[in-house]
Structure 1
Amino acid sequence: MHKIREGFEQIVKLSDLDWQVFSSKLKKSVYNKKATILKVGETENHISFIEKGALLFFIPKLENDITFSFCFENEFVSAYDSFITRNPSTYEVKALTETILWRLTYQDLQDVYNKTEAGNVIGRIIAENLYLKKLRREQSFLNETPEERYLNLFVERPELIKKIPLKYLASYIGITPQALSRIRKRIF
């Protein structure tokens, strides 16, 4: 939990009372590799902090699933659209590795917002960061070739290249694994 507080303190100074309120509501959950965290049709009820592991966000399809996001250690994670609207998710979240999450329920987050000075600031900053991550991804599909998207991963998200199987990377940048292999041969 120390890393969570450090992350918050980069955003806003937390009083000991605010931290006590927040940390008292966190619950630790451990998931095995390939465990499903959230299924299509379930409503997301948690915002989580990843202590250890990597998560995959994807839309299940009959032929090939469509990967659209990854999250790693020391990041906050949620099927945020489902979380804030309280509607069922249209995608799934899966653990790519053994994963440890510190989780906060929707209701507990509302309590944090109401009982702490820093809660609303932290919530706003997390929401803004999630929005910017989504916007950058959308713009990359509109402005870049698949090869440019792949090369940008080396700069923007080097952990993807190291930790993610190629089939998920290919889907993430919008191409087949075979096309990614051809790009990699040209580059290296």
Structure 2
Amino acid sequence: MEAFIEKFRKKYRIPATDLQLLIDCMQEIHFKKKEIIVGEGEKNTNLYLIKQGIWRGHYLKDGVDTTIWFASAGEAAFSVWGYADNSASPISIEVCCDSLAYCISGQDLNTLYSSSIELANLGRKLMEQQLLSTENWLISSGSPRAQERYLTLIRDTPELLKYVPQKHIASYLWITPQSLSRIRAKIKC
């Protein structure tokens, strides 16, 4: 079984048969680095399952670009506003490196959810994971130890270092790029 499928199954606790049913209903799409999947103010109800690559969710306020999440192979990515409320997104979703993902429209996904209690539970699990990720991000942003947050981030998603600019990692950690440089230098010692 492919690594991204195994990672997805583990994170969302979904049986292989249900995941295969979902993937069979999805379209495989290639995305180029810096491509915008969802722009601020746009509506997108699609669910994406990342096969390879890294994506980020971010918003721009007062000229400051703040990253609020990263998603990599084996993770779902979607606009919570479009997915849950069919409304415009206040964040953008951007591809950080050339990527391959599976995509299903919100309408097709809801039809699929209606056909299977297991897949309907997947929809619930997606939202639960999104909520947990958001709360962890908020809690860690108040942590006085940016170095600990950085070490956790690179432990969980080491490929970020290869494909994501330092300024985006720093904004996710709620620190300046200069502070991140100091942390990285200290770790290398």
Please say whether Structure 1 and Structure 2 have the same fold, judged by a TM-score greater than 0.5.
Answer: yes
Q: 1:71 to 1:166 in 2, by over 3 A?
A: same
Tell me the residue number matched to 1:58.
58
SS at match of 2:97: coil
SS at match of 1:184: helix
Tell me the residue number matched to 1:70.
70
Question: What is the rounded CA distance, in whole Å, between the counterparts of 1:153 and 1:19 in structure 2?
Answer: 29
**1:96-124, Cα deviation, whole Å (9 max, x unpaired):** 11111111111111101111231112112
CA apart distance, 1:5:
6.2
Q: Unmatched 5+ residue regions in structure 2?
A: none
Establish whether residue 83 from structure 1 lines up as the match of residue 83 from structure 2.
Answer: yes
Tell me the residue number matched to 1:28.
28
Q: What TM-score do you get using the length of structure 2 for normalisation?
A: 0.84
**1:123-166, Cα deviation, whole Å (9 max, x unpaired):** 12222122111111111112343233223324344333343221
SS at match of 2:142: helix
Q: 1:159 to 1:14 in 2, by over 3 A?
A: closer
- The alignment covers a number of residue pairs equal to 186
Matching of residues 125-140 of structure 1 within 5 Å: 125-140=125-140
CA contact (8 A) 1:14 1:118 kept: no
RMSD: 2.6
Question: What is the rounded CA distance, in whole Å, between the counterparts of 1:37 and 1:177 in structure 2?
Answer: 25
CA apart distance, 1:13:
3.6
**1:42-71, Cα deviation, whole Å (9 max, x unpaired):** 112211100111101111246331111111
Q: What TM-score do you get using the length of structure 1 for normalisation?
A: 0.85
Tell me the residue number matched to 2:164.
164
Q: Unmatched 5+ residue regions in structure 1?
A: none
Question: What is the rounded CA distance, in whole Å, between the counterparts of 2:175 and 2:27 in structure 1?
Answer: 38
Establish whether residue 175 from structure 1 lines up as the match of residue 172 from structure 2.
Answer: no
Establish whether residue 115 from structure 1 lines up as the match of residue 112 from structure 2.
Answer: no
Establish whether residue 151 from structure 1 lines up as the match of residue 151 from structure 2.
Answer: yes
Q: 1:64 to 1:12 in 2, by over 3 A?
A: closer
